[in-house]
Amino acid sequence: MLKRVSLATMFLLLVSVILSATEADARKRREKIIPAPTKTSLVVDGKSGRILHSRNARKKIYPASLVKVMTVYLIFESLESGRLKLNQKLYVSKYATKARPLKLYLKPGRKISVRDAVLGLIVKSANDAARVVAENIAGSERKFARLMTIRARQLGMKDTTFTNASGWHDPKQVTTAVDLAKLSIAIKRDFPKYYRAFFSKTSFRFEGKRIKGHNKLTATYPGAEGLKTGFHTPAGCNLITTATRGNKSLVGIVTGRKNGTIRNRKMVQLLDKHFGVKHNTIKRKGGIKTRKMKLADRKKRKSRRK
């Protein structure tokens, strides 16, 4: 009897050890598949591109919904050239409606105006709106992503590859904080009218409902002009903010943070510092080394487009 109990106990212990080892192996595999997001931060002069602060700014990262800044750039380009109009209706395909949230919950076969699609992208970060725009401009999201990458190269974004219009995670879709700064400067410089009209919005009405955004700094930070938030697990919480006070314009980028509160707090600290906002902190000796990013000239970009 004791022998049987002992054998049963040994068997249970063996099973327990095997299960523990299997669980540990599975955890290690998950850690390899989803590494911790890369924390980066960057502040540049919004006019000259001069780098004022940099941490891991040239490391490749996952942009998440910051991708939508390039999506909107191509929309603004189409509006400026006359290929699109703000009140023009865009067809909603079944493929577009299958995008995962965040979304506007568009219905297949219906239509959405270019204006509402842009607001959906900027305010709601709507993935279905991103697909609608991609298909209507380029015929498919894959073709649109190629256009995004081509434009990235022309803007001097040499370390960026786009694979979709929304920022939905794809290991091949990567960028750097430096490249995102170049894009942010370019969209504000190349399309000032559309930039001011859309990126300052924190809410809009769509189909009788008020759609609120989640970029709190656009509404609360003094001098903030807008730009974009982004999140998925491999990327962490990302943010681009542009702000102007007096004659000074800054672009701030923070990526890879654990949550939106930490991300926003870091952005405020960086912008305050470079706007010269005084806090009760200990001053460090020595100055700030500055470098200058190479920004693509708009005339060169236009000539390449032809």
Strand order in the sheet with 236-245: 224-232, 236-245, 248-257, 40-45, 50-55, 291-292
Structure confidence at residue 297 as a pLDDT band (50, 70, 90): low
Beta strands, E only, the chain: 40-45, 50-55, 89-91, 111-113, 203-206, 209-212, 224-232, 236-245, 248-257, 291-292
- DSSP string spanning 30-50? HHHHSPPPPPEEEEEETTT-E
Q: Which domains does the chain have, with CATH numbers?
A: 40-275 (3.40.710.10)
Digit-coded pLDDT (tens) for 197-206: 999 999 999 9
Predicted pLDDT of residue 306: 45
Catalytic residue from among 41, 54, 93, 125: 125
Q: Is 125 a catalytic residue?
A: yes
- Alpha carbons 236 and 238: distance in angstroms, whole number: 6
Q: Is 184 a catalytic residue?
A: no
**Mean pLDDT across the stretch 178-203?**
98
Determine which helix (DSSP H) or strand (DSSP E) holds 18, and give its type and residue range. Answer: helix 2-33
Average pLDDT, the chain: 88
Q: How far is CA 241 from CA 78, 79, 250, in A?
A: 24, 24, 8
Q: Is 278 a catalytic residue?
A: no
Predicted pLDDT of residue 31: 43
Structure confidence at residue 35 as a pLDDT band (50, 70, 90): confident
* Nearby residues of 35 by Cβ (< 8 Å), 6 or more positions away: 234
- Alpha carbons 161 and 172: distance in angstroms, whole number: 7
Spatial CA neighbour of 76 closest among 200, 204, 225, 191: 191
Q: What amino acid is encoded at 271 in this protein?
A: L
Q: Are 92 and 110 in contact (CB under 8 A)?
A: yes
Digit-coded pLDDT (tens) for 278-296: 866 444 444 444 555 666 7
| DSSP for residue 64 | G
Catalytic residue from among 41, 54, 65, 93: 65
Structure confidence at residue 302 as a pLDDT band (50, 70, 90): low
Predicted pLDDT of residue 138: 98
Digit-coded pLDDT (tens) for 101-156: 999 999 999 999 999 999 999 999 999 999 999 999 999 999 999 999 999 999 99
- Alpha carbons 143 and 152: distance in angstroms, whole number: 14
Predicted pLDDT of residue 90: 99
Determine which helix (DSSP H) or strand (DSSP E) holds 196, and give its type and residue range. Answer: helix 192-199
Structure confidence at residue 36 as a pLDDT band (50, 70, 90): confident
Residues in the chain: 306
Digit-coded pLDDT (tens) for 228-245: 999 999 999 999 999 999
Catalytic residue from among 41, 54, 68, 228: 68
Structure pTM?
0.83
